[in-house]
């Protein structure tokens, strides 16, 4: 059975840790690999390598750094099938979905090829007598990323390409559940010609996470995961003097106005609610139809679609949804469905008990649809992260907006309507970081930035795009005057332009 190594200084390094974690194929339930859980000392070894590599990398002209990014992007483009197969094998998502994830990650790498333009700063001549001022953005040093299981290619690419293009060196701690994708991509990174030590991959669990958050030589940490862990990462990292951007959980609502095209809204909800088995922080997990008539039409349209979902392994080209990532997560999702029934929601389509012939050991849950869910229920309040869609009936638009604004999460949201006034009002009033108007999953493109509000994001900067550049750099401003412009004699008043 394969044992996965760390990547430190451009080389595969076997962890000496006695602790290991199994890596499973969620479609079959069979173990596929063994992952040693690295120690704090092994994390420190990676940091020292990255620290040694940083000065030369930071001093390299940004355009030269960008050339490595162009080479890396070309290798990613050429190896999409191989990477997508690795994603599907350990995560379970369909091959088409894995390719889509990878493409969105590659778009961030593409953006990073143009980062020199965003590093150039500003210049003002003659701000005072013979005085000029200029500013630029400089890298931080060694930075780190802790990434989740649900996007093993895309989310790491939200982090390390931006950080590295800005002149930092990077430590990546991928999820223990699907680590192989990071190994394949790290090999392509090395093949692109990047100097050894610029990108390092260290596998592990909480021991490595805590070592990252407390290490004195790591200047910044990026994290994507659940809200409780995001808050822990933010508080621990900032307490140790680090910049931290920690993206947490979500409970994304979609309002369906009475004037919306119900069939198109239902199609959108199917993809947004059940794509990747609901294991997306931008999944729509709450549908909010306005008025009883709209709600009845929506549920009538959704129910047969949910029952007809094609569920199977990634090797089935007709599969629309695959298994959940682990047996433990499958049991958690099934527990939420049980809780919804107990709390009095109307279970329209029950995904419990789904079995696939030939894949009885896989971690499958069928598409599940609840109606008449209320805000006091756990299936409404908490992030399920599974193929469970809740319909919360709302009497009017104002009530629906308040429902969303009152929720502790503020990651993504959407409205389906033909009314421009309603759409504009929604975009202005809603207290959510990413808004879709007739777009169910409004994930920003690479040259914008991704980030929620409220307890969906801890820290001052969103991820990737211009916000990512600002996170991984710090501003330096230089004010200069040369001897011919300096008058004789000491000046004791505060400097001014006069």
Which residues form the catalytic set? 281
Write the secondary structure of 402-431 as one string of H (helix), E (strand) and C (coil): HHHHHCCEECEEEEECCCHHHHHHHHHHCC
> Would you tell me how many other CB atoms lie within 10 Å of the CB of residue 380?
22
Alpha helices in 140-291 (DSSP H): 154-165, 180-191, 206-214, 227-239, 262-274
Bridge-based pairing of strands 142-146 and 169-173 is parallel
Quote the CA–CA distance of 291 and 265 in Å, as a whole number: 15
User: Nearest-CA neighbor of 73 among 110, 100, 37?
Assistant: 110
Rounded to 5 degrees, φ, ψ at 26 are -70, -20
SS3 75: helix
d(CA 12, CA 18): 18
Of the candidates 212, 204, 209, the residue with the CA atom closest to the CA atom of residue 6: 204
The alpha helices in 35-152, defined as continuous H runs, are: 40-59, 62-78, 80-91, 95-112
Q: How far apart are CA 225 and CA 244, in angstroms?
A: 13
Indicate the helix (H) or strand (E) that contains 259.
none
Distances (CA, A) of 463 to 111, 222, 276, 369: 13, 8, 22, 32
């Amino acid at each position: 059975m394969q044992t996965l190594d760390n990547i430190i200084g451009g080389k595969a390094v076997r962890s000496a840790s006695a602790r290991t974690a199994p890596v499973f194929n969620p479609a079959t339930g069979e173990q596929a690999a063994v992952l040693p859980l690295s120690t704090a000392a092994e994390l420190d070894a990676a940091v020292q390598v990255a620290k040694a590599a940083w000065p030369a990398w930071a001093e390299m002209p940004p355009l030269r750094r960008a050339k490595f990014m162009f080479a890396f992007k070309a290798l990613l483009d050429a190896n999409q099938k191989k990477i997508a197969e690795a994603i599907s094998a350990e995560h379970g998502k369909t091959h088409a979905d894995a390719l889509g994830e990878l493409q969105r990650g590659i778009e961030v790498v593409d953006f990073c090829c143009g980062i020199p333009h965003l590093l150039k700063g500003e210049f003002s001549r003659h701000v005072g007598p013979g005085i000029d001022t200029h500013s630029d953005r400089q890298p931080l040093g060694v930075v780190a990323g802790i990434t989740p299981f649900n996007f093993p290619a895309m989310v790491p690419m939200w982090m390390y390409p931006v950080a590295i293009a800005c002149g930092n060196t990077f430590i990546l701690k991928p999820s223990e559940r699907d680590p192989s994708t990071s190994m394949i991509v790290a090999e392509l990174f090395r093949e692109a010609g990047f100097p050894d030590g610029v990108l390092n991959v260290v596998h592990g669990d909480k021991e490595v996470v805590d070592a990252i958050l407390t290490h004195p030589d790591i200047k910044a940490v990026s994290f994507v995961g659940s809200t409780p862990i995001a808050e822990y990462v933010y508080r621990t990292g900032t307490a140790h003097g680090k910049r931290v951007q920690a993206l947490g959980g979500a409970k994304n609502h979609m309002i369906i106005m009475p004037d919306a095209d119900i069939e198109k809204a239902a199609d959108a909800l199917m993809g947004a609610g059940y794509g990747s088995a609901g294991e997306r922080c931008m999944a729509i997990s709450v549908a909010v139809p306005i008025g009883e008539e709209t709600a009845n039409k929506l549920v009538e349209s959704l129910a047969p679609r949910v029952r007809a979902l094609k569920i199977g392994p990634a090797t089935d080209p007709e599969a629309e949804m695959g298994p959940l990532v682990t047996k433990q997560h499958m049991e958690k999702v099934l527990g939420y469905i049980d809780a919804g029934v107990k709390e009095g929601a109307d279970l329209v389509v029950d995904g419990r008990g789904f079995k696939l012939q030939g894949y009885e050991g896989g971690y499958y849950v069928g598409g599940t649809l609840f109606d008449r869910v209320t805000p006091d229920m756990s299936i409404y309040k908490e992030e399920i992260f599974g193929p469970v869609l809740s319909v919360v009936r709302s009497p009017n638009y104002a009530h629906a907006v308040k429902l969303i604004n009152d929720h502790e999460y503020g990651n993504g949201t959407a409205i389906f309507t033909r009314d421009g006034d309603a759409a504009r009002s929604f975009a202005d009033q809603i207290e959510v970081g990413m808004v879709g108007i007739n777009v169910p999953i409004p994930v920003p493109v690479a040259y914008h930035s991704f980030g929620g509000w409220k307890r969906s994001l801890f820290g001052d900067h969103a991820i990737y795009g211009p916000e990512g550049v600002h996170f991984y750099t710090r501003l330096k401003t230089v004010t200069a005057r040369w001897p011919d412009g300096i008058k004789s004699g000491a000046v004791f008043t505060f400097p001014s332009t006069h």
